[in-house]
Structure 1
Amino acid sequence: MARRVLLVEDEPSIVEAVSFILTRAGWTVHAHADGATALDRARAGAPELVVLDAMLPGRSGFDVLRDLRADPVTAAIPVLMLTARGQERDRDLALRLGATGFMTKPFANAELVAEVRRLAGG
C-alpha cells in the first residue's frame, strides 16, 4: 500500500511535478489548492505528511501550519513547507510555527524525495 501525502499547493504545474515525482517514489499524492479548507482536508485524509506552500488562496500556508499544529488530530503530522518564499525570515517563521522541514522552489527532484522520506520516517 502506498504511503499518503497531502500536497497543499495552488499552482497546477507544481502540483503536477510534485505528484509525478512522489508517485514515482511510491507515494499516493492527494492535492488540495485552497488554504481555507486545507485543515479539513488534512483531518479527513489522515496523511503521513503534508507538503505545504506558503502562498495559497483563502489562507496562507503559515496560517494553515498554525491550524495544523493547534489541532490534536493533525498536530503530529510532519509538515514540509515547499515555497518560493526562500527568505530567512520565511524559514524562521515556518520553523517557529512548527514546520518539520523547509524547502524552496525550484527544488531538485532527488532532494524532494529524500526530504519527504526523512520527514515521514522512511
Structure 2
Amino acid sequence: MKILRTKNKGKLVFIFLLVLLLIGCTNAKENSSEKERLDKSKPLPIGTVVKLKQMKKSVMIYGYNQIQVSTGKQYDYIAVPYPEGNISPDYNVFFNRNFIEKVMYEGYDSEEGKKLRKKVESNMKDN
C-alpha cells in the first residue's frame, strides 16, 4: 500500500507542477498583450472599452479624429458611456489618447479596421 501512495504522490506533484507552469505561461501572455494594448501611439479598435483618467465610468470608443461641435476642437477619439451606449449627443465623450488610463477590453479587429487605424495613426503623428 505504501508503494501505491508514493506513486500517486509523485503523479500529483507532477500534475501540480504542470498546472503551475501552464498558469504562469497564461499570465505572461496576458501581461504582454496588456502592454501592447497600452501603446497610446497606435489607435485602438472601435468597440474598445477604456478607463479614462479622472472619470469613474468606463467608455466605449466608436470613432476617431472627431470634432466636438460646441468647441470646434478635434480629439483622437469619441466614445459613449459603457455599458449604456448611445444615450444622446450630450453624453458623447471626446478625448485624446493621453487621457487613457487603462484598456478594459479591446474591440473587434479586422483587416479593414487595421487599414483604417494605419491612416488614423499617421494623422495622429502629424498632429
TM-score of the pair, normalised by structure 2: 0.27
The higher-RCO structure (CA 8 Å, 6+ apart) is 2
More strand by share: 2
Q: Which is greater in Rg?
A: 2
